[in-house]
């Protein structure tokens, strides 16, 4: 993916890519033209224009738990206990806080809290594939790079939010992703690299796992906020010198127009580079020990805790790539012998208790902090799995199934404690209340205060609607 390769990706402006101005001007370039690709003055201006235009400026945000690879609907939120084993699979159902509703036995904590969740059993993921994962993260059927050469150009829902709304605090990026591989998340596309995700893995010290999920007992470097050699905060805070540098490079620094906002928003841009808010939000050592223990030491749980810290600090959209390996994803449960694609009993079963703990801890923590009305938590992958067991020489796995999938949501001040839609008797097709990618996008935009009529320009300067297929916010939630 070319999205990763730009001059600001590691916060080290010495990298000779794109526009490079050596010395401390490089730090100015990174701070004023963008942090990891974020055109900060543009974002600040968009945020201010949104407020002046009458749109409510709240602290609403989204945390997307992206189950990379496509979790099985039958073995998670849509069990079929009365069907033959070949269809129902190896897991039993468990009763939940919603009378008459069952989910997988390996999600007992979520079962006890299901009155705080909405389960959707009738999501239509047609055209969705993985690596790149685009359709469900963009809300566009055509955002399928394997079938459409321009599929990767459709902007992420998160990027639309970043452009239309910006962050909830000017010192924070609007869109952060913790990604195992760049092909696991959607990017800015036609909106421009400035709306690509800020790479959270490079900003935090996190445990490192191998492709099979083994903890390597070391942590990542968290080098994103390190200053280039020879620079220090005192030198950068020498405002007179900074402004002199700016005068010298103003004409050639930025060709996108973001320098037009420097006079009005420059101070806020400086604050994002020099301030401590973002650095503190990414610093898990600032979190009380009991809370770190509550989430647990697993990589995904640590990222979930960081997601809570980030939305609390002012990030609008956080995506967690729940995958160990860099290929199609850990939830791609084919059961291929000898590979990383574990089946249902051998691959999915170990994931479910971990996910169960992660999602219930996150939702409970948000609720206790008074954030649950503002933060929408979404759990989904790119598609479902085949209704029958057995794929690619494995009797334990299920294949891709872009016909029907399940997902769940919590928070956001929405109406929960319900199941939306239904699948057929064998979990293979949609029976009632189809939910499209456009409906999902519209629901997120409604939550975030982004107009459903929003458009953007493609590479031929043609307007495209952010919401497709006449997508509508899910009326059951509002």
- How many angstroms separate the CA atoms of 30 and 8, rounded? 6
Closest CA to 319 of 365, 406, 379, 384: 379
Answer whether 313's CB lies under 8 Å from 277's CB. yes
Amino acid 207: pLDDT: 95
Phi, psi of 356 (to 5 degrees): -55, -45
Amino acid 393: pLDDT: 80
Amino acid 237: pLDDT: 57
Amino acid 220: pLDDT: 87
- How many angstroms separate the CA atoms of 221 and 57, rounded? 35
What is the residue-level pLDDT of the chain in tens, covering all 478 positions? 444 433 333 333 333 433 333 444 444 444 443 333 334 555 555 555 544 444 445 799 999 999 999 999 999 999 999 999 999 999 999 999 999 999 999 999 999 999 999 999 999 999 999 888 799 999 999 999 888 999 999 999 999 999 999 999 988 999 999 999 999 999 999 999 989 999 999 899 999 999 989 999 999 877 766 655 555 556 555 645 555 555 554 444 444 444 444 443 455 555 555 558 888 999 999 999 999 999 999 999 999 999 999 999 999 999 999 999 999 999 999 998 767 788 999 999 999 999 999 999 999 999 999 999 999 999 999 999 999 999 878 889 999 999 999 999 999 999 999 999 999 999 999 999 999 999 999 999 999 999 999 999 999 999 999 999 999 999 999 9
Q: Residue 112's domain is classified under what CATH number?
A: 3.40.720
Total residue length of the chain: 478
Instruction: Please check whether residue 246 lies inside any domain of the structure.
Output: no
Instruction: Please check whether residue 330 lies inside any domain of the structure.
Output: yes
- How many angstroms separate the CA atoms of 353 and 359, rounded? 10
Amino acid 256: pLDDT: 41
How many CA atoms does the CB half-sphere of 357 hold within 13 Å? 15
Maximum distance among all Cα pairs of the chain, rounded to whole angstroms: 75
- How many angstroms separate the CA atoms of 282 and 36, rounded? 15
Instruction: Please check whether residue 132 lies inside any domain of the structure.
Output: yes
Instruction: Please check whether residue 36 lies inside any domain of the structure.
Output: no
Instruction: Please check whether residue 32 lies inside any domain of the structure.
Output: no
Number of domains forming the structure of the chain: 1
Instruction: Please check whether residue 14 lies inside any domain of the structure.
Output: no
Instruction: Please check whether residue 6 lies inside any domain of the structure.
Output: no
- How many angstroms separate the CA atoms of 187 and 407, rounded? 22
Instruction: Please check whether residue 328 lies inside any domain of the structure.
Output: yes
Closest CA to 67 of 123, 147, 111: 123
Give me 465's structure tokens: 């609607």
Helix (H), strand (E) counts: the chain: 14, 18
pTM summary value: 0.83
- Give the domain extent around 145: 61-230+276-477
């Amino acid at each position: 993916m070319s999205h990763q390769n730009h001059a600001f990706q590691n916060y080290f402006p010495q990298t000779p890519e794109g526009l490079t101005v050596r010395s401390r001007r490089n730090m100015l370039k990174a701070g004023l033209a963008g942090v990891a690709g974020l055109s900060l003055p543009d974002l600040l201006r968009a945020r201010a224009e949104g407020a002046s235009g009458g749109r409510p400026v709240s602290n609403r945000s989204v945390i997307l738990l992206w189950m990379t690879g496509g979790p099985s609907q039958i073995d998670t939120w849509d069990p079929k206990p009365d069907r033959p084993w070949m269809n129902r699979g190896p897991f039993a159902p468990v009763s939940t806080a919603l009378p008459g509703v069952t989910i997988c036995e390996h999600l007992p904590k979520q079962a006890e809290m299901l009155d705080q969740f909405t389960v959707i059993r009738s999501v239509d993921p047609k055209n969705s594939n993985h690596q790149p994962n685009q359709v469900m993260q963009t809300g566009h059927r055509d955002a399928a790079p394997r079938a459409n050469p321009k599929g990767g150009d459709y902007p992420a829902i998160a990027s639309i939010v970043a452009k239309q709304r910006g962050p909830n605090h000017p010192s924070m990026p609007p869109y952060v992703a913790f990604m195992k591989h760049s092909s696991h998340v959607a990017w800015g596309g036609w909106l421009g690299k400035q709306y690509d995700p800020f790479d959270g893995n490079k900003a935090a010290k996190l445990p490192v796992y191998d492709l099979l999920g083994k903890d390597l007992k070391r942590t990542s470097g968290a080098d994103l906020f390190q200053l280039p050699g020879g620079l220090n905060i005192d030198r950068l805070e020498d405002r007179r010198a900074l402004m002199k540098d700016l005068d010298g490079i103003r004409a050639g620094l930025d060709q996108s127009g973001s320098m037009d906002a420097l006079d009005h928003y420059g101070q806020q841009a400086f604050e994002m580079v020099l301030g401590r808010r973002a650095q503190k939000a990414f610093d898990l050592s600032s979190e009380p020990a009991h809370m770190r223990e509550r989430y647990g030491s697993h990589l995904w749980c640590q990222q979930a805790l960081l997601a809570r810290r980030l939305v609390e600090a002012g990030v609008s959209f956080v995506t967690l790539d729940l995958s160990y390996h860099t290929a199609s994803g850990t939830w791609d449960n084919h059961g291929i012998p000898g590979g990383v694609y574990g089946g249902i009993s051998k691959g999915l079963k170990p994931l479910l208790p971990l996910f169960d703990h992660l999602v219930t801890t996150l939702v409970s923590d948000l609720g206790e902090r008074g954030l649950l009305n503002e933060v929408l938590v979404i759990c989904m992958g790119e598609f479902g799995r085949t209704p029958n067991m057995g794929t690619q020489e494995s009797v334990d796995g299920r294949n891709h199934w872009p016909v029907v999938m399940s997902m769940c949501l919590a928070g956001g001040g929405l109406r929960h404690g319900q199941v939306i839609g239904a699948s057929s008797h064998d979990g293979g097709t949609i029976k009632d209340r189809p939910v499209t990618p456009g409906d999902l996008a519209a629901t997120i935009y409604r939550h975030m205060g982004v107009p459903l009529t929003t458009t953007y320009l493609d590479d031929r300067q043609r307007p495209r609607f952010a919401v497709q297929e006449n997508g509508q916010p899910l009326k059951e939630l509002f």
